[in-house]
Structure 1
Amino acid sequence: MASNSHLDDYNLSDRVALVTGGAQGMGAAICDILAAAGSAVVVADVKAEKAERVAETLRGKGQQAISVETDVASETSIYDLMNRIETEFGKLDILVNNAGIQDRNFLEDTTSEYWDQLMAINLRGPALLTRETVRIMRKCKVDGRIVNIASNSAFHASAPSLYAYSTSKAGLAGLTRATAIEVTKDGIRANAICPGNTTTEGQMSASGPDFTPEQIEKFMPPIGRTGTPRDIANAVLFLVSDASSFITGQTLVVDGGMLSC
């Protein structure tokens, strides 16, 4: 039977993908869809047991996956992760910078310690991971793909108490564009996805001031439902696949129409 060339664009066979924050929520959904498309998957997360359960589930489906306990706020942990990937697979084709925290604090309550910790996870970690990933991609001469999970909060302040969070995600969008300019000559593409209100474990467990009922009501997208991890995973698959081969340095907003309001 002749192959369908359009679907072939989404085939990730013989590729290796690293997904940070892969133990739950968006990250787990991204691991699942990339593995289903044929990629070997590295599930990296500070929650080691949950990460291994995700990898074990994928292996149970006949897919190739490993888990690596990783703290993206630690440069040493990132080096250890990259060494494990090179030892295990010898290359890295795809990086999805998904790990992040959504903790909230009002501007006047934002301490230096709180700011530094959030930036270390949401922005510094992705920057270091991008740097080390590009080293491997260049060495192995692969047509690499980098996708950063930012937020539509990078473009509008959806509520008070997101002072540091929104700043970190705006920085991640900027990191994406700056990366794309530097790596295009190597055949590497870098893009970002900006989710809107998406129901995840991380969203539900985030610490900080409660939103008012009026604010919560405004969070509902015009499309009439909140996003799901699968919605974001589908967008990631598009951006790491050959179907998006002419797209780099862009931010794809996946928010049910919130930014159109």
Structure 2
Amino acid sequence: MNLKNKIVIITGAGSGIGAATAKLFGTHGATIIVSDIHLENAKKTVSEIRTVGGKAEAMETDVTHFKAVEDLIAETVAKHGHLDVMVNNAGIGGKKQLKTAEHSHEDWHNVIAVNQTGVFYCMQVALKQMTDQGFGNIVNVASLAGLKASGNNLSYSASKYAVVGMTKSAALEYGRKKIRINAVCPGFTRSALLDQLLTSSPTIEDKLKRMIPMGRFGEAGEIAEAICWLASDNSKFITGQTITLDGGTSL
């Protein structure tokens, strides 16, 4: 994959898919701005990238605050001159798995703020910069829950459907500006979100694996491979697409 010397921002890169993606970009010679709401987690990812010879720096960012997103991108451009790739990965799940009528308003507002509004803020600021510089690439991390029904999970599902819609709409708008915008839609993937789900019932892990034709959960590194490919010049005729990585669950 051709990613050498690209300037890349990844939100939520202190753990899980974001951290795996940052490390993979690092092995391909990119410079990664590791953004996370938890600065210590971001610093840990940076340390791991630098240990193997990669280039990275940490920035604390709460994507639910527009000014924080503006600062993240402005500081990156001030230091590096431009922004090649924006990976919008920061995301959370609800605290409670409840049907729609019982769905917590707290979960609704929190999940929508991070997963939907946060992605919108990051896309909006990144697109202004990329339009000015004349090129760019955005990869959004959506979910299988943004492509098919997901019970007891309304706010998460709504937010991820929104990410898919925003990806396609913006890709249509900016295709002639040399800006590509795509999304990945992971199924059940080992991460903090999956761990949270697995603790809800002692039998849920076996139930979930029975739903997956490949019989296992995805690994963060497998999702990272798709993100890096979409961000690379190897996929330069692809925009407005969603790549589903779910071990066949959607079948």
Answer whether TM exceeds 0.5 for this pair.
yes
Deviation at 1:210, TM superposition (A): 2.5
Asked if 1:204 corresponds to 2:199, the answer is no
Deviation at 1:171, TM superposition (A): 0.6
Asked if 1:165 corresponds to 2:156, the answer is yes
What does residue range 49-198 of structure 1 map to in structure 2 within 5 Å? 49-103=40-94, 104-106=96-98, 107-142=100-135, 144-158=136-150, 160-198=151-189
Distance between the aligned counterparts of 1:216 and 1:182, measured in 2? 43
Distance between the aligned counterparts of 2:195 and 2:171, measured in 1? 33
Other-structure match for 2:27: 36
Deviation at 1:32, TM superposition (A): 0.7
User: Which string of whole-angstrom CA distances, capped at 9 and with x for unpartnered residues, describes residues 117-154 of structure 1?
Assistant: 11110011011101101111122223x11111111111
Asked if 1:23 corresponds to 2:17, the answer is no
Residues 123 and 172 in structure 1, CA contact (< 8 A), matched pair in contact too: yes
> Residues 62, 214 of structure 1: CA spacing in aligned structure 2 closer, same or farther, 3 A cutoff?
closer
Distance between the aligned counterparts of 2:223 and 2:7, measured in 1? 19
In structure 2, runs of 5+ residues without a counterpart are none
Distance between the aligned counterparts of 1:176 and 1:51, measured in 2? 26
Deviation at 1:212, TM superposition (A): 7.3
Distance between the aligned counterparts of 1:85 and 1:205, measured in 2? 33
In structure 1, runs of 5+ residues without a counterpart are 1-9
Q: Over aligned residues, Cα RMSD in angstroms?
A: 1.8
Distance between the aligned counterparts of 2:130 and 2:190, measured in 1? 33
Deviation at 1:98, TM superposition (A): 0.6
Distance between the aligned counterparts of 1:35 and 1:113, measured in 2? 37
2:242 aligned to 232, 243, 251, which one?
A: 251
> Residues 151, 211 of structure 1: CA spacing in aligned structure 2 closer, same or farther, 3 A cutoff?
farther
Range moving further from structure 2, 61-70 or 215-224: 215-224
The size of the alignment, in residue pairs, is: 248
Residues 185 and 244 in structure 2, CA contact (< 8 A), matched pair in contact too: yes
Residues 2 and 234 in structure 2, CA contact (< 8 A), matched pair in contact too: no
Deviation at 1:90, TM superposition (A): 1.6
> Residues 174, 259 of structure 1: CA spacing in aligned structure 2 closer, same or farther, 3 A cutoff?
same
Distance between the aligned counterparts of 2:197 and 2:205, measured in 1? 16
Other-structure match for 1:213: 203
Deviation at 1:211, TM superposition (A): 4.9
Q: SS of 2:182's equivalent?
A: strand
Deviation at 1:203, TM superposition (A): 2.5
Distance between the aligned counterparts of 1:184 and 1:35, measured in 2? 27
Residues 193 and 252 in structure 1, CA contact (< 8 A), matched pair in contact too: yes
Q: Structure 1 counterpart of 2:103, which letter?
A: T
Residues 123 and 168 in structure 1, CA contact (< 8 A), matched pair in contact too: yes
> Residues 51, 214 of structure 1: CA spacing in aligned structure 2 closer, same or farther, 3 A cutoff?
closer
What does residue range 219-238 of structure 1 map to in structure 2 within 5 Å? 219-220=209-210, 221-238=212-229
Q: SS of 1:259's equivalent?
A: coil
Q: SS of 1:258's equivalent?
A: coil
Moved over 3 A (4+): none
